[in-house]
Amino acid sequence: MKLKTIALAAAFSVATCLGTFAASHGNKAKIGMITTLSGGGAGLGIDVRDGFLLAVKKFGEGHVEVVVEDDQRKPDIAVQLADKMIQSEKADILTGIIWSNLAMAVVPATTAQGKFYLSPNAGPSALAGKGCHQNYFNVAWQNDNLHEAAGAYANDAGFKKSFILAPNYPAGKDALTGYKRFFEGEVADEVYTQLGQKDYAAEIAQIRASSADSVFFFLPGGMGIAFMKQYAGSGVDIPLIGPAFSFDQGILQAVGEAAMGVKNTSQWNKDIDNAANNDFVASFQAEYGRLPSLYASQGYDTANLIISALKKAAVSDADAFRAALKAAEFDSVRGDFKFGSNHHPVQDIYVREVIKEGDVYTNKIIATGLTNHSDAYAGDCKM
Amino acid sequence: MTTTLIIEQVLNGLQFGVMLFLMASGLTLVFGVMGLINLAHGSLYMVGAFACAAVAAATGSYWLGLAASLVVAAMAGAIVELLIIRKLYSRGHLDQVLATFALILVFSEGTRWLFGSFPLYLNVPEILSGSVELPGGIHYSLFRLLIIVTGALIALFLLALIHKTRLGIQIRAGESDREMISALGVNIDRLYTIVFALGAALAGLAGAMVGSLQSVQVGMGEPVLILAFVVIVIGGIGSIKGALVGAVLVGLVDTLGRFLLPELFAIFMDPASAKAIGSALASMLIYMVMAGVLFFRPTGLFGLNA
């Protein structure tokens, strides 16, 4: 299974070098994907890329050509790649960026040059409110959304006092703000950790000493793995709530038993029952030999949105193409999908619980956190 | 804020400190004895963690994994020393930094090629998970307690090795006069390989133990490497005793700073900005300590007077 993944990854790298997923008829577009394929955050970029290329392979025949490049999670490299994609590759649409700080470096410059940018992940508040742009679409979520749903769920679950925890950087502050925007109880304590911190003994001691009845944490990637393992080993049994970023399919196996039963919020899960999602989960597993993560679902939706718009309008006719994107007439794996006035999704956000299926840790939906949820910044967007 | 919370945080600081010591002791020996800046020391830490995770997953035994982390990291260290590092001793520091930085990239991409981009599973064994009650009603993680004990034992072992054994005499002699010791008939090449492999083994052990608490993934070594450099600069380059004192100091300052500074600022500020400013300042605290130490003792706490 692992060998197959490696072989596929290798095949895609070769394809990347050749730069061709060629097309022959209909409206065509060249898509530049800049995403993180090496370094600590590579798992996320690989999932977005694999989801995207799966949709291209299944539905994009003759419509799109994709060029994939690795930004190494560095803003300066992402900016260079964006220039290269636009100027020498002549890409019509850019996509792929995982991290909000990279998105802030690339998106405004891209849209200012009249190109389209579709975000499969990062949704910084600055691009949802005053900085919104008619050519910028976010297909995933606005950064605050999943945290807001976690706050709403904490109310539903009857929690009165939360200990809240996030890294000290813009997305971490957005996370705690988002949680507090919806949580009606009291905040026992608010702790900012260092970005990339791996030892949480000091924070767990504070949680133990607090009188909280719930812990909300936003610690993406390796930080979340470290926190959950240490939390489970500490003997503290205050229930945890978090956004899906610490519970995606890629990292759950590394956390293992320590994640069992934790509630987390997500706009997607593999058990959402619709034809598009069932088809996506089955074909992703067949293609890559692993279960898809929410990042893969976001990449898949992004590609399908582009393909649906290309079937209606040519990307050279920017107004018609933009209207086709805005209409979002594609079969989203999330079920109903529509854009709000600021080109960010208006969608349901679910509460999931970590379970074990056979030997594999995964999630199942147990409730809906927020229904038809937009974001707090849409009002500031003048488009 | 209760006494038990403070004692628990002091234990956390100690545990963090002894982990740093395992990393820093190898780094300081290599720098002190061979005059080599080894940026790839963090990669050996990663190699140890991956070896432990892979062997523990294959055999089901955490203890075999731990042993494998020592052996594999020592072997990786010895091979790298023989093939690459050996050619760098006579070169300047810039060449050493360039070559060992290249080694980081080789190790990282090699590990990704072998194990993939997703973090590996490695957890504390059942028998060591959970917490114990210490006198005074303090609950403390058993595994962290074991790390403190292991680190203390290794520190004793290293101090005895450096000060009481023939190998230790050769290492100390190598630090003060490299040419003289080879003129006296000591096989300096073999000595270098042994010191490098010993440092690598300790880094690998640290990686395996920390990996069981945190996460085993590519690139895990570099953040620790920076702290280890801070430790050896504070302690004085080449001194094992300095590495021990520096590591415990950095561990305690970092842990207690993260916890106490926001509380301190909250006395005269509104809570939200006190949290943000306090934690921002806490992340700089060890570097301020380092600057302070260097101001008064430019060669570090236990450094030789240059």
- Strand-pair category, A360-373 with A345-357: antiparallel
Cβ <8 Å between A205 and B259: yes
- Residue spans of alpha helices (H) in chain A: 2-18, 42-59, 75-87, 100-112, 125-128, 145-156, 170-182, 201-209, 222-234, 249-255, 275-288, 294-310, 318-327
Measure in Å the smallest separation between the Cα of A229 and chain B Cα atoms.
6
Distance CA B28, CA B103 (A): 19
Cβ <8 Å between B283 and A168: yes
Note every long-range contact of B168-171, with CB atoms under 8 Å and residues 24 or more positions apart, other chains counting. Answer: B171/B29, B171/B33, B171/B195
Residue A258 token pair? 């320590």
Choose among A198, A202, A253: nearest Cβ to B121: A253
Helix axes of B166-176 and B3-34: crossing angle, nearest 10 degrees: 70
Choose among B2, B112, B130: nearest Cβ to A233: B130
pLDDT number for residue A3:
45
- Give the residue extent of every domain in chain B: 15-116+138-296
pLDDT number for residue B305:
53
Is the CB of residue A178 less than 8 Å from the CB of residue A151?
A: yes
Percent of all residues in chain A with a pLDDT value above 90, rounded to a whole number: 70
Mean of per-residue pLDDT scores for chain A: 89
**Beta-carbon count within 10 A of B3 CB:** 10
Of B161, B136, B132, the C-alpha closest to B148 is B132
Distance CA B154, CA B156 (A): 5
> Which CATH entry fits the domain spanning B15-116+138-296: 1.10.1660, 1.10.10, 1.10.3470, 2.60.40?
1.10.3470
pLDDT number for residue A293:
93
Could you give the maximum distance between any two Cα atoms of chain A, in Å?
Answer: 65
pLDDT in tens, A331-362: 999 998 999 999 999 999 999 999 999 889 99
pLDDT at B238 over 80: yes
Report, as an integer, the average pLDDT of B190-197: 90
**Beta-carbon count within 10 A of B148 CB:** 18
Cβ <8 Å between B210 and A198: yes
Per-residue DSSP letters for B235-283? H-TT-HHHHHHHHHHHHHHHHHHHHHHHHHHTTSS-HHHHHHHHHHHHH
Query: Using 50, 70 and 90 to split pLDDT, how confident is the model at A302?
Result: very high
Cβ <8 Å between B220 and A194: no
Cβ <8 Å between A226 and B215: yes
Measure in Å the smallest separation between the Cα of A61 and chain B Cα atoms.
29
CATH number of A2-141+271-339: 3.40.50.2300
pLDDT at A25 over 70: no
pLDDT in tens, B18-72: 999 999 998 988 888 888 889 999 999 999 999 999 999 999 899 999 999 999 9
pLDDT in tens, B1-29: 578 888 888 999 999 999 999 999 989 88
Going by C-beta distance under 8 Å and a sequence separation of 6 or more, which residues neighbour residue B187?
none
pLDDT in tens, A189-229: 999 888 878 889 889 989 988 999 999 999 987 788 889 98
Residue A49 token pair? 């890329």
Cα–Cα distances in Å, from B186 out to A172, A181, B89, B170, B178?
56, 70, 17, 8, 10
Cβ <8 Å between B255 and A202: yes
Instruction: Return the H-helix or E-strand segment holding B9.
Output: helix B3-34
Distance CA B242, CA B113 (A): 38
Residue A44's SS3 state is helix
Report, as an integer, the average pLDDT of A31-51: 89
pLDDT number for residue A174:
86
Q: Which of A50, A192, A197, A251 is the best substitution to test chain B (most B C-beta atoms within 10 A)?
A: A192
pTM: 0.79
pLDDT number for residue B272:
74
Cα–Cα distances in Å, from B142 out to A107, B134, B148, B252?
48, 10, 10, 19
Strand partners, A351: A265, A367
CATH number of A145-266+349-380: 3.40.50.2300
Lowest mean pLDDT among A75-79, A297-301, B213-217: B213-217
pLDDT at B230 over 60: yes
pLDDT number for residue A23:
37
Say which DSSP state A335 is in: B
Distance CA A205, CA A191 (A): 12
Q: Does B50 touch chain A (CB under 8 A)?
A: no
Residues from A in contact with B at Cβ < 8 Å = 2, 5-6, 37-40, 42-43, 46, 168, 173, 190-194, 196, 198-199, 201-203, 205-206, 208-209, 222, 225-226, 229-230, 232-235, 250-251, 253-258
B contact residues 215-234, partner A, Cβ 8 Å cutoff = 215-220, 223
- Give the residue extent of every domain in chain A: 2-141+271-339, 145-266+349-380
Is the CB of residue B272 less than 8 Å from the CB of residue B50?
A: no
pLDDT in tens, A248-297: 888 888 888 889 999 999 999 999 999 999 999 999 999 999 999 999 99
Dihedral, B48, B53, B54, B60 alpha carbons, nearest 10: 130
Measure in Å the smallest separation between the Cα of A357 and chain B Cα atoms.
17
Measure in Å the smallest separation between the Cα of A19 and chain B Cα atoms.
22
Is the CB of residue A300 less than 8 Å from the CB of residue A18?
A: no
Q: Does B116 touch chain A (CB under 8 A)?
A: yes
Strand partners, A365: A352
